[in-house]
Amino acid sequence: MRREGGDEQGSLVRGMLRVEAELLLAWAALETKDATASARAVETADLDADALRDGLESDGVMVPELVRQLRASLATAGVEAPRLHAGATSQDIVDSASMLHARDALAAVRADLATTGTRLQGLADAERRSPRVAYTLGRQAAASTLGVQFAGWLDGVTSAIAAIDALDYPVQFGGAVGTGEAADRLGSGAQTTSILRAHLAAGLGLDDPRRSWHAERTPVLAVASAATAVCTALGRIGRDLVTSSGERVGELSLAGGGASSAMPHKQNPVAPIVVVSNALQAPGLLATVASAAISQDERPAGEWHAEWDALRRLLELASVSARRLAASLDRVTVERETARHHLADSAVAGADQVTLQAANRVVNAAISRFLYQDASQDRDTDSDTDTGLGGGSHANSDAGDSTNSEETA
């Protein structure tokens, strides 16, 4: 299946530029200087993409070439930026940029999930008393309702939203071996790294972990797990859509679809197929990220590098699945009479009042859970406003200043 999605590599590079720019501003805040012009020049720098790819090949990471190009660009423009990349290491820049990309990607995914959830809420509510046969282990099992089926889908969407909402997106700033020694030497003393990290987190809208996590990869694993939860929850819906909209079942119909090269009469359920395909790919990518979390030393050799493509691909799969499924549900029509006939023609006892009461309870619980989780973002925003804390909610409030102009790369 061809990949869909945006320019993940470009997004990462833009994120790295933003991190470098915010680091300049963090140093300026610490040293009571003005770095507005240099930060703007860094964030809007015109980079040589081919040279960046060559740098990735030769250096094993793109940041050294990025910094070389930024220094040259600033010098050409006559902009002074002695604190460019000061106190940071390549992993600080890449990890922080990766968290920016993950945060933005999953925010869009969450919005699509909310759209899907709202549609499923309506379907579950409308069809709570529409009888159908429920299946277990591939066989007819007992009477249920279409609303219960939609409620089950809604539960998966709610769980995926909850997984995203539980995430932290920590900034990374620890220097060469994670201790922050280089920044402390450049600044006013032992609190320099903590102050810079807090400023950097606040400027980027990321969380301040108050530590380096170069070799402690739980934050990345959590993001990968949430993206996988999205893929699998939507994959279950996609698989049910393929089955239920097919001629052998026909309890749902799905407008539109893709053409067949050999059978002009066919309309293939392309969007659900893509969602199922993505769900099947996600666990292997998650396994790569989990394996890479077994890091060694203060900065890992190979494990960190193995994360990059797997994490970006997981975010891409989650984004595509969320977008495609949200659009697909608008084209779903419920075939109530077909579902009713299947139940009547089966060996299963029909839906009685107890069946409908049980279905009603399941639907109500699923809808309540979704509405509560969907509103959690508003509750969190209100809490941050009340406490005066933004993205860097654990920011160190200590002040500091420095007159040391020495630079590190």
Question: Which residues form the catalytic set?
Answer: 260, 299
Q: Which among 387, 321, 305, 395 has a CA at the least distance from the CA of 5? A: 321
DSSP annotation string for 11-26: HHHHHHHHHHHHHHHH
E strands in 215-364: 252-254, 332-334
Residues contacting residue 319 through CB under 8 Å, at least 6 positions apart: 5, 6, 105, 108, 109
As a whole number of Å, the CA-based R_g of the chain is 26
Are 127 and 150 a contacting pair, CB within 8 Å? yes
Q: Do 314 and 289 contact (CB within 8 A), yes or no?
A: yes
In angstroms, the CA 94 to CA 61 distance is 9
The gap between the terminal CA atoms of the chain, to the nearest Å, is 42
Coil vs helix vs strand at 132? strand
Closest CA to 228 of 288, 306, 164, 286: 286
What is the length of the chain? 409
Find all residues with CB under 8 Å of 223, minimum gap 6, and list them. Answer: 99, 102, 106, 167, 169, 311, 315
Q: CA-CA distance, 312 to 317, in Å (whole number)?
A: 9
- Give CA–CA dist 324/271, Å, rounded: 6
Vertex 216 angle, CA 21 and 22, to 5°: 10
Are residues 318 and 227 in contact, defined by beta-carbon separation less than 8 angstroms? yes
Euclidean distance between CA atoms 120 and 360, whole angstroms: 15
Task: Please give the full DSSP string across 95-120, using - where no structure is assigned.
Answer: HHHHHHHHHHHHHHHHHHHHHHHHHH
Task: Give the residue among 46, 24, 27 at the shortest CA–CA distance from 37.
Answer: 24
**Chain centroid to CA 86:** 29
Q: Which amino acid is at 181?
A: E
Residue located via tokens 């007159």: 403
